[in-house]
Each structure stands twice: as C-alpha cells, then as structure tokens.
C-alpha cells in the first residue's frame, strides 16, 4: 500500500488564522469561517501533490468546495450514524456547532443537512459502524484499488 502524506484542513485553517477555529468562530461567526475554509480547501485541492486530506464536517456546505472535491480529488465519505458521533464527541469542546444545550439533536440536524451533500461528492462511501481503524483502512484501500482499476479500464 502506498503511503501518502496526511493533511487536516482544520489544522491548516488554524495555521492560516493564527488561532483556534473555536476562537475565530466565537469572534467572527460561521459565515466568516466558511469563507476561510473555502479558500484553504480550494488552495489545498489545487496543489497537485498526492495526499490524504481530512476536511471539516461542514466543508461540503459550500458549492465551491463540493465542486472542487468532486473534480479534484477522490472523496471517501466515512459514513457514521448520529448515535456513534454523539458518543465519540460527547466530551469535545473544540467544535463550536456542538456547544449547545442538546448536542445530540444538533448532530441530527447537521447529519440531515450534510449526509446528502457528502453522498453527492463521494466517490466511495464506507460505513464505519462496528469497524476498527485497521478494518476501515483495508476497506478504503480495496475500494481505492477497485476505483483506480475501473478508471484505467475506462481509458
């Protein structure tokens, strides 16, 4: 399996901002954050270097991000159920959109909005339920190999 560099778009955004996303969100709001996110994702995807890029959950909200993701990358949607997300994020205070009275309900709302958008841009969808990280890596690798093979066959 080929090893690729990893880039987390949230870390790149924080480096660009010079502060945490939560601080920026609190000070400038979500709309300003989404503008910066779009710029960083656009620049990242325009760079031809092969790598694995993790995007923030709301990155699919912007049409420009979806278009860039769909055409300039192979998008793997790690599909996770709301209950699993709620369990994983129960103590996470860094996510500004979940700092509400009922985080589980907020996750449901975000899922309802975002899931169809992720499915729109995804080249591969992998269900994460009941799978270890190693199993997910193997599933994704197999799907990427199949996808590359079918692209080669289409040429």
Q: Residue range 7-13: average pLDDT?
A: 94
- 41 and 55 in contact (C-beta within 8 Å)? yes
Q: Is the dihedral of CA 92, 94, 98, 102 positive or negative?
A: positive
**Which of 42-56, 66-80, 139-153 is least confident?**
139-153
Compute the distance between CA of residue 40 and CA of residue 51 in angstroms, rounded to an integer. Answer: 15
More confident site: 85 or 135: 135
pLDDT, position 149: 61
Contacts 24+ apart (CB under 8 A), 30-33: 30/96, 30/97
pTM: 0.81
Q: What residue spans of the chain are helical by DSSP H?
A: 9-17, 21-28, 30-46, 63-72, 82-89, 103-121, 133-154
Q: What is the pLDDT of residues 97-145, one digit of tens each?
A: 677 778 788 889 989 999 999 999 999 999 999 899 999 999 999 998 8
Vertex 141, ends 129 and 153: CA angle to 5°? 125
Domains and CATH numbers, the chain: 6-154 (3.40.50.300)
């Amino acid at each position: 399996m080929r090893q690729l560099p990893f880039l987390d778009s949230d870390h790149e955004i924080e480096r660009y901002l010079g502060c945490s996303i939560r601080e920026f969100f609190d000070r400038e709001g979500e709309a300003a954050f989404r503008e910066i996110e779009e710029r960083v994702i656009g620049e990242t995807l325009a760079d031809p270097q092969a790598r694995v890029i993790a995007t923030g959950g709301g990155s699919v909200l912007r049409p420009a991000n979806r278009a860039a993701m769909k055409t300039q990358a192979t998008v793997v949607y790690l599909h996770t159920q709301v209950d699993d997300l709620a369990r994983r994020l129960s103590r996470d205070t860094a996510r500004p959109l979940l700092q509400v009275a009922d985080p589980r309900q907020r996750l449901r709302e975000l899922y309802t909005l975002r899931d169809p958008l992720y499915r729109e841009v995804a080249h591969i969808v992998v269900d994460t339920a009941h799978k270890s990280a190693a199993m997910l890596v193997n599933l994704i690798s197999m799907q990427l190999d199949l996808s590359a093979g079918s692209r080669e066959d289409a040429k």
